[in-house]
Structure 1
């Protein structure tokens, strides 16, 4: 209550007491006059309180408070001004909300607001086109009930939204959409959906072109390498001077065959999301076989290759694909580790899943190259690939194999102190090894 209200209240009480005393002076009953006057004032005050209570309980939006006199008139007037100020603030906020909704409605990208449980709260018109949402019957529905693609359900429930997700549109299988999810507020979700059909078509054209060219080159290259091998076997009968150029031609032909095989393998890996032969793979025996091949590759370089298997568990997936990925990591470590160096292969499991690390004591890789190592044909140093015979596709193959097995690749390296490549498999990919059967 401000000073004006204090003054008004004091004036009213003084007038009331003065009037009661005058009536008492005339009638000679001071006490009764004062009591009756105060009772009348109290009754009037209670009546105003009841009017205020009734208005607060039953008033409609934007309905003005009742009229009053004196102190209560100022109270009702103050409430009226507060009400009008609140209406102006709400009007400005509603105008901002309307502008935001109008601007998002004009977007070609879909914008969807979800609560903390993943239920639909609001979406723009593009969401109805790309996802098939319907107003108002889909409001409050879980988004996983309306977008039923298994990869989306897995992506949403895992809660790891660092990378976008590409899936076919629920409305049209010929449309390709890309989803971004961001958390905000009280663990609520904002989902953005883009139509990336054109980009997907261009990417598919690139993949098809590489796959077709690789396939078409494979047959003539096999013929050429076959004739080169025949000529080398009989080079003394032709001309001994041709031995060196024929050997170099055969070496480069084999390198081209390796490149084509890697390109065809990448095309095969990108064709589907899951391995076709999804069976438990015994990792311990697989790693022992890869270690034996790595020792043969190391030859006389006096390298120390160790294998630590700390978990007796298997992985669900394709043994051929896992062998390709793991051997790429191990063979790269052998190639880029100097003579007398060490390579450590470690397999273990914990509550976060299963893990494979390949650690070497090589020259290491500068941090600026690490984010791009899994790109196709990316060269840290072109001379290194020329000397080791690498195609630049090994880590790209590793990345795609891990993606198909719901895993990720972590790379850490320090110049002059070697590198460590770690594969992290989700708990859902880990299973018990199949029991070995005895054959009589």
Structure 2
């Protein structure tokens, strides 16, 4: 730019000197200098006007051909224009490829602008959510009016868990939606049709519930006859031990069936039900009594519980969740081991922790602990009489109460299971 300014200044000086010399020859150097410089300024002004008119017209076509510094500026703009046009063509080609590829996806993709307004969506999303081309610019919640989805979109922070809901225009269709935020209040909504998976899962739940229900009657009859034989003393000689073992296995099967029925009910019931007020201290003291009865004096128990703490929820479900953790700690802690129970409240809500002194859990197993029938050590679990459903029941109870569980475990040093309840589930024990 400095070289161009020097060049233009040199051109101005040369014109001024030429006009001055010609003026001295003609003996009218002042008039000649004024006319020459005036013509130069008019020429520069005309070039500037042409360039300004080209800019005002949206830079259509190549830049005007000029000379001097304006010619250099025009050439620079022309090169920038060509480079911009090539980049724009590349960008359009890339966008076409992205749109073509997303249009071929079975999953729906919706791009949202500020305030959740519709910017773009692929055909799959249009079909699943019932969107039309003239819906651009309107809020997505105007078309997906499910209350759960509205809360899901308006909640702050990232959406770590997908939302499952029925399609807006078809109750027979089940959708799974997941939001990914980026940029400034922009977001992508991924929509999947999980109707088939949902139906298969429902069939599995119905099958398990029906089979479990049908097994209760024959198990009750078998257990009754076994108890009668044991109590009557009329069993053939040598049958005492087999009868005891059969009775134990019948009780184990009954426990398994009851757990399956409870888990099936938890999975199919509405979430966030139950308005019981549960005094946590009383619940923990009851759990300790049950744990001591199971332990038979083989373990040491310690309790730390804040007063005036109560939970809002289903009393039976919460007792089941708490008891599963406490009884597991007793089962997997060696004789003479310590079991610690603690309840405390802070700004994030209420927390119930159970710490055992068992062999601990390898971190590789922790993500799968709440799967039904998943066993870290199958042999030890069967010896302890566990059904493999306890932590699955805990998981679903927590889901129904808006809570979550964390596990802290080191092999050889025991494990700590902690339940975290949100502040909305807490109330003062003395409150009316």
TM-score bracket for this pair, using the shorter chain length: over 0.9
Contact 2:118 2:135 in 1 (8 A): no
Aligned residue number for residue 231 of structure 1: 229
3-state secondary structure, aligned to 1:227? helix
Contact 1:115 1:189 in 2 (8 A): yes
2:342 counterpart of 1:346: yes
3-state secondary structure, aligned to 1:68? coil
Alpha-carbon RMSD: 2.3
Q: Which structure 1 segments of 5+ residues have no match?
A: none
Give the drift of 1:114: 2.3
Give the drift of 1:158: 4.7
Aligned residue number for residue 120 of structure 1: 118
3-state secondary structure, aligned to 1:281? strand
Give the drift of 1:7: 7.7
Give the drift of 1:66: 3.7
> What per-residue deviation string (whole Å, max 9, x for no partner) do you get for residues 213-256 of structure 1?
11111111111101111111012x33342211111100000000
2:304 counterpart of 1:308: yes
Contact 1:311 1:348 in 2 (8 A): no
Aligned residue number for residue 425 of structure 2: 429
3-state secondary structure, aligned to 1:77? helix
Indicate which of 185, 188, 193 corresponds to 2:186: 188
3-state secondary structure, aligned to 1:362? coil
Aligned residue number for residue 38 of structure 1: 37
Distance 1:205 1:238, change over 3 A: same
2:304 counterpart of 1:283: no
Q: Which range is displaced more, 316-325 or 250-259?
A: 316-325
CA distance in 2, matches of 1:218, 1:251: 15
CA distance in 1, matches of 2:73, 2:7: 12
2:259 counterpart of 1:262: yes
Give the drift of 1:350: 1.7
CA distance in 2, matches of 1:117, 1:348: 39
CA distance in 2, matches of 1:170, 1:311: 47
2:295 counterpart of 1:320: no
Distance 1:135 1:264, change over 3 A: same
Contact 2:223 2:247 in 1 (8 A): yes
Aligned residue number for residue 148 of structure 1: 145
Contact 1:311 1:347 in 2 (8 A): no
Contact 2:5 2:69 in 1 (8 A): no
Distance 1:146 1:422, change over 3 A: farther
TM-score (norm 2): 0.92
Contact 2:176 2:194 in 1 (8 A): yes
Matches within 5 A, 1:195-274: 195-235=193-233, 237-274=234-271
CA distance in 2, matches of 1:160, 1:327: 33
CA distance in 2, matches of 1:349, 1:46: 78
CA distance in 2, matches of 1:314, 1:50: 81
3-state secondary structure, aligned to 1:190? strand
Matches within 5 A, 1:345-384: 345-384=341-380
Contact 1:367 1:413 in 2 (8 A): yes
Contact 1:329 1:358 in 2 (8 A): yes
3-state secondary structure, aligned to 1:206? helix
> What per-residue deviation string (whole Å, max 9, x for no partner) do you get for residues 331-376 of structure 1?
1111111122111111112222221111111221111211111111
CA distance in 1, matches of 2:410, 2:427: 34
Contact 1:164 1:179 in 2 (8 A): yes
> What per-residue deviation string (whole Å, max 9, x for no partner) do you get for residues 98-119 of structure 1?
1211221221110112246433
2:384 counterpart of 1:419: no
> What per-residue deviation string (whole Å, max 9, x for no partner) do you get for residues 106-163 of structure 1?
211101122464333221111111122332325241x344333333334441534333
TM-score (norm 1): 0.90
3-state secondary structure, aligned to 2:88? helix
Give the drift of 1:413: 0.6
CA distance in 2, matches of 1:21, 1:165: 85
Contact 1:361 1:419 in 2 (8 A): yes
Q: Which range is displaced more, 245-254 or 198-207?
A: 198-207
Q: Which range is displaced more, 24-33 or 196-205?
A: 24-33
CA distance in 1, matches of 2:112, 2:272: 33
Aligned residue number for residue 172 of structure 1: 170
Give the drift of 1:392: 0.4
